[in-house]
Amino acid sequence: MRYTWDPKKDASNRRDHKMGLAEGIPAYEDPDAFEILDGRMKYPEERWVTYGKIPQGTVLTVVWTELEPDLIKLISVWKANRNEQKRYYLRQP
């Protein structure tokens, strides 16, 4: 899998969420992660939200879109809030 992102969005994500977009890659690749279609707003592209855990044990929320079958554009990443963490853990075996 390949990943890309907008450098300006990466800078704003660092400012707003205290983490860079690349930090969401391990959460996206978490074998126990799950994704849902992002229906929060109407976007020009199909956006997805993935809830996944990074090796340090933190659950992250990753917003992304697929540009090509093997190319993911990361849009936003943040530490999952309580409700997002609950969604993640309720999905675990």
Domains of the chain: 2-90 (3.10.450.530)
Neighbouring-strand partners of residue 59: 53
Residue 2 identity: R
Q: pLDDT band at 17, cuts 50/70/90? A: very high
pLDDT band of residue 39 (cuts 50, 70, 90) is confident
User: b vs e for 7-41, b when ≥16 Cβ sit within 10 Å of the residue's Cβ?
Assistant: eeebeebeeebebebebbbbbbebeebeeeebeee
Torsion of CA 27, 30, 36, 38, to 10 degrees: 20
> For residue 43, what are its two tokens?
């976007």
